[in-house]
Amino acid sequence: MIDVAVAGATGKLGSLVCSLVREQADMRLTGAVVSAEGGKAGQDLFPGLKAVGPDGLPDICARCDVLVDVTSAAAAVRNLPVAVRAGANVVVGTTGLPNELLSDLDKVMAESGLSAVITPNFSIGVNVFWKACQTLARALPDYEVEIVEMHHDRKKDAPSGTAMKAAQIVAAETGVSRLVYGRQGMVGARGREIGMHAVRAGDIVGEHTVMFAGNRERIELTHRAHSRLAFAEGCLVAVRWVAGRHDGKVHSMEEVLGL
């Protein structure tokens, strides 16, 4: 039995992860952490399980095998050191994590012997999408690349972490690292750049398109998420993979999926 705690338990993704964990025969939801400002701390989220605020995180992590963090970058910076000190492996699906935290986490994991999975997107399809981006960029290094991402009107960050990861993959393969965020006015001829475009409207779950354009042809690679369950189900794949692992390393979903 894998004991799982979720930080960000009342968010869109966190609530789905909590519900799915409760449905698994090999998992048990042992903790739910919520923000101090949301008013849910101390309330029953599920029968026999009360939500706790950030102050309760050390005790929650001491009693779980894996902490799933689907909060915000600012909250994750506080949460991850607490989880590691308590002896819990971590699965993190929060975008915008600072490079300093990622570097520190590498060191902390090596010292603790624990394991982590960190990804901007849990979706199995998105991770295959990134692999396909790498293949296309490697085969078409001189093609011009534009990335368009679409999300619901309440998403706070732009571009999305998934779009940024796609841009990083393309840049690594082509050597084109200049990102241009939208265009307006007399911008002149296109240079050696990757165009980044963010759309926010309605209840769009998530859509990403990477276009590779040559002079007489183009390839458009698109991933569309129909439901947030795709992310929650991928999260559980990561939980199962990292549970019981003690290799002192930070892993990616690419490793989890064997890509």
- Determine whether 151 is an active site residue: yes
- Determine whether 155 is an active site residue: yes
Q: Which of 12, 50, 131, 155 is catalytic?
A: 155
Residue 64 three-state SS: coil
Kindly provide the b/e burial profile for residues 127-160, where b requires at least 16 CB atoms within 10 angstroms of the residue's own CB.
bebbebbbebbeebeebbbbbbbbbeeeeeebbb
DSSP assignment of 18-40, as one string? HHHHHH-TTEEEEEEE--SSSS-
Q: How far apart are CA 149 and CA 198, in angstroms?
A: 5
Strands (E), 34-88: 44-46, 49-50, 66-69
* Token digits of residue 232: 């929650």
Q: Which of 40, 151, 223, 251 is catalytic?
A: 151
- Largest pairwise CA distance in the chain: 62
* Token digits of residue 77: 């910076």
Q: How far is CA 78 from CA 64, 120, 123, 239, in A?
A: 18, 18, 25, 21
Contact 22, 5 (CB under 8 A): no
Contact 120, 234 (CB under 8 A): no
Which amino acids are annotated catalytic?
151, 155
